[in-house]
Amino acid sequence: MKKSLIGIALTGILAAASTGWAQNITILGAGGSTCAKYLGDSASSPAFQSIYLNWAMGYFTAINVSNAAKAGAKTLNSTSGVEASLKAFCQANPEKNFSDAVLAYALLSLK
């Protein structure tokens, strides 16, 4: 089960990377929420904040698993500043999805 979930996550990441984060990708879980919803939910309850951050950590882990097989590929080894970065992105882009904020953080961190 765990391997199939990782495979699904990797498929989504690889498809997104190859299509420029195409609009036809279905984002499952908290990542499909708008940034406005993320901001409201996370302000209302630490439990909601945890749900969103755990979704982001799963996304980052899937990137790391995918990159582990690539020689010289960078991985996301620190989550320092991730919460502030996600909130800043979402405050500036409330109409975008939370997954867009996570992707933006990942791309900046992997440069």
Position 62 confidence tier, pLDDT thresholds 50, 70, 90:
very high
Range of the domain at 57: 2-109
Residue whose C-alpha is closest to residue 76's, from 86, 64, 59: 64
Residue 58 has pLDDT above 90, yes or no: yes
Domain count, the chain: 1
pTM: 0.74
- pLDDT band, very low/low/confident/very high, at 24 (cuts 50, 70, 90): confident
